[in-house]
Structure 1
Amino acid sequence: MTIKVGDRLPAATFKTKTADGVKDITTDEIFKGKKVVLFAVPGAFTPTCTMNHLPGYLENHDAILAKGVDQIAVVAVNDPFVMGAWAQSTGAEGKILFLADGSASFTKAIGLELDLTDAGLGTRSKRYAAIVEDGVVKALNVEEVSGQAVVSAASAILEQL
């Protein structure tokens, strides 16, 4: 079943790459008592994700935080090393929290997995953006076409904040 506005995010543990190595980070650590913009991409380094989706969140970083958001986070079904390299190569390191959902356990738990097996990519995440307050989904924008970043774009989220 797909998560919807008003639902609480399920408990999950992500991996994140830090200067000290790979660390676990839980949904409680990310969302408890905080207002977070969470967006998801089908894959780090993929064209739409790298050239369109992520740059909007970097460009609007300060404006989003000025709306009372504590953290911007991106999740993908990739390993933490890929997510860390993506953060570093895009200049987003330290601005956006990069969450690796390598086995798609969080993505499947919220019902937003995308089967890209025919494209050689296996199970990935649908492209979406959400506003989450204290672990509860307040807004959820899921793209109909994974190669587009329109309703999940930073500009769309900024209008909802």
Structure 2
Amino acid sequence: MKVLDLQCRQGHVFEGWFASEDDFQGQRQRGLVQCPLCADSHIEKRLSAPRLNLGAAEPEATAPVSVPAPAGAAVLPAPLQAAWLELARKIVAQTEDVGTRFAEEARRMHHGETEERAIRGQATPDETLELLEEGIAVLPLPLPAAAKETLQ
């Protein structure tokens, strides 16, 4: 099993586990390896040092190897990335996905035509502006694809 430190174009750093280097490369070429925060499939390996447990004494603490993020990328600290992904998963778990019917369903709830409930879905920028102009509270919130999947 290979544990790789990975990074997307946005500078998000995450870990991936693969059966082998060939497995990683194959999955990457098929677009199966994606950033859990932004779903970017342009993934690169970062420098990482292997830790071999050969029964030796605990290694001394060393500073982690850091690879600079691409120019212009806003890099979130790992704890903040984890907190954002946890929040996104809670949102997904506690809302109903109405897909592209979001604007229509939000209007129906606002006008009392259907029961109010927590929903999420897709709306165009124009639909979002129309909802806001009608006094319907919406929050554009891009959810990473990883938030919609269960971890194995």
TM-score normalised over the length of structure 1:
0.27
Larger Rg: 2
Return the structure number with greater strand share: 1
